[in-house]
Chains A and B, each alone.
Chain A
Amino acid sequence: MATRLSKIINSWVPENSKVIDFGCGDGSLLKELFENKQVLGYGVEINDLKIEKCIEKGIPVIKLDIDKGLNDFMSSNFDLSIMARSIQCLKNPDLALNRMLDLSKRCVVTLPNLGYWRCRINLASGKMPITPELPSSWYETENIHLCTIKDFENLCLKENISIKDKVFINRSGNQGGLSKINPNLFAVEGVYLLEK
Chain B
Amino acid sequence: MKIETKLIHFSKGIILESGEKLDSFDLMVETYGNLNENKSNAILLCHAFSGNHHAAGKNDDFGVGWWDQLVGPDKPIDTNKYFVVCCNNLGGCAGSSGPASTNSSSGKVFGKSFPQVSVLDWVNSQKMLMDELNIDCWHFVAGGSLGGMQALQWSISYPDKVKKAGIFAAAAKSSSQNIAMNEVARESIRKDENFHNGDYYEHNVIPKNGIKTARMLGHITYLSEEHMDSRFGRKFQDEGSKVEESVSFEVENYLQYKGEQFSELFDANSYILMTKVMDSYDAGKDKTLVEALKDVKAELLIVGFYSDWLYPPERGKEIQIAAMNNNIKSSFVVLQGDHGHDSFLFNSETYSNLITNFIES
Nearest B residue to A56 via CB reads B357
- Docked-complex contact B321 and A51, CB < 8 angstroms: no
Asked if A18 is at the interface of the complex by the 8 Å CB criterion, the answer is yes
Asked if A142 is at the interface of the complex by the 8 Å CB criterion, the answer is no
Asked if A54 is at the interface of the complex by the 8 Å CB criterion, the answer is yes
Task: Identify which of B317, B331, B335 contacts A60 (C-beta below 8 A).
Answer: B331
Asked if B332 is at the interface of the complex by the 8 Å CB criterion, the answer is yes
Among A72-80, A128-136, A153-161, the one that faces the other chain is A72-80
In Å, the complex CA distance between A79 and B330 comes to 18
Given A56-B361, A76-B321, is A63 in contact with B334 using a C-beta cutoff of 8 Å?
yes
In Å, the complex CA distance between A52 and B348 comes to 13
Asked if B88 is at the interface of the complex by the 8 Å CB criterion, the answer is no
- Docked-complex contact A18 and B331, CB < 8 angstroms: no
Asked if B327 is at the interface of the complex by the 8 Å CB criterion, the answer is yes
Task: Identify which of B290, B327, B354, B361 contacts A51 (C-beta below 8 A).
Answer: B354
Contact with A along B312-346 (1 / 0, CB 8 A): 00000100110011010111111100000000000
Given A48-B350, A62-B320, is A18 in contact with B327 using a C-beta cutoff of 8 Å?
yes
Asked if B301 is at the interface of the complex by the 8 Å CB criterion, the answer is yes
The interface on chain B, measured as residues whose beta carbon lies within 8 A of the other chain's beta carbons, has a size of: 23
Asked if B261 is at the interface of the complex by the 8 Å CB criterion, the answer is no
Nearest B residue to A75 via CB reads B325
In Å, the complex CA distance between A72 and B220 comes to 31
- Docked-complex contact A55 and B357, CB < 8 angstroms: yes
User: Of residues B317, B329, B331, B353, which shows the largest number of chain A Cβ atoms within 10 Å of its Cβ?
Assistant: B331
In Å, the complex CA distance between A73 and B318 comes to 10
Asked if B358 is at the interface of the complex by the 8 Å CB criterion, the answer is yes
Given A55-B301, A55-B357, A55-B358, is A60 in contact with B325 using a C-beta cutoff of 8 Å?
no
- Docked-complex contact A42 and B357, CB < 8 angstroms: no
A-facing residues in B145-172 (Cβ within 8 Å): none
- Docked-complex contact B329 and A40, CB < 8 angstroms: yes
- Docked-complex contact B325 and A76, CB < 8 angstroms: yes
B4 to chain A, nearest CB (A): 31
Residues of chain A lying within 8 A (CB to CB) of residue B329: 40, 58, 60
- Docked-complex contact A75 and B321, CB < 8 angstroms: yes
- Docked-complex contact B317 and A58, CB < 8 angstroms: no
In Å, the complex CA distance between A60 and B320 comes to 10
In Å, the complex CA distance between A57 and B360 comes to 9
Given A51-B333, A51-B354, A52-B354, is A58 in contact with B361 using a C-beta cutoff of 8 Å?
yes
Residues of chain B lying within 8 A (CB to CB) of residue A52: 350, 353-354, 357
Asked if A61 is at the interface of the complex by the 8 Å CB criterion, the answer is yes
- 15 more contacts with CB within 8 A, not counting A48-B350, A51-B350, A77-B325, are A40-B329, A48-B333, A48-B335, A51-B331, A52-B353, A52-B354, A52-B357, A55-B354, A55-B357, A60-B329, A60-B330, A60-B331, A61-B333, A75-B321, A75-B325
Q: Which 3 A-B pairs have the closest CB atoms?
A: A58-B361, A56-B357, A55-B357
